[in-house]
C-alpha cells in the first residue's frame, strides 16, 4: 500500500471518528462523559488537521479553489432569506 493511500484512509477514518464523537457529545447527559469525549474529539481534530497539512504539502490532496466574494454572498443570502 502506498503512503498516499494510507494517509487518505487515515484521514477518512479520523473524519468519521470526529462525526461519531459529535454525535455522542450531543446525546450525552453526563457532564463528565461529555467533557471526556470533547477532549478526545479535540485531539482527533488536531491530528486530522496535522495529517491534512502533511497530505497537502506532499501533493496528496488538492484543496478546492477559493470561493469568490460574490459566491460567498450568494450562499449567505440563501441562509438569511
Q: What are the tens digits of pLDDT across the range 39-68?
A: 999 999 999 999 999 999 999 988 888 999
On the question of pLDDT at 81 being above 80, the answer is no
Q: Where is 6: in which H helix or E strand?
A: helix 3-27
Residue whose C-alpha cell is 438569511: 80
Share of the chain above pLDDT 90, in %: 81
- Please report, to the nearest 10 degrees, the dihedral formed by the alpha carbons of residues 68, 70, 71, 77 taken in order: 150
Q: Where is 80: in which H helix or E strand?
A: helix 69-80
DSSP string, 14-57: HHHHHHHHHHHHHH---HHHHHHHHHHHHHHHHHHHHHHHHHHH
pTM for the predicted model, two decimal places: 0.74
- For the residues 20-46, what does the mean pLDDT come to? 97
Amino acid at each position: 500500500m502506498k503512503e498516499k493511500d494510507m494517509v487518505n484512509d487515515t484521514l477518512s477514518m479520523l473524519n468519521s471518528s470526529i462525526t461519531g464523537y459529535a454525535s455522542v457529545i450531543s446525546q450525552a447527559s453526563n457532564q463528565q462523559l461529555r467533557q471526556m469525549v470533547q477532549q478526545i474529539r479535540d485531539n482527533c481534530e488536531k491530528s486530522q488537521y496535522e495529517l491534512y497539512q502533511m497530505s497537502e504539502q506532499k501533493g496528496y490532496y488538492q484543496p478546492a479553489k477559493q470561493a469568490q466574494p460574490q459566491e460567498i454572498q450568494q450562499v449567505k443570502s440563501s441562509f438569511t432569506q
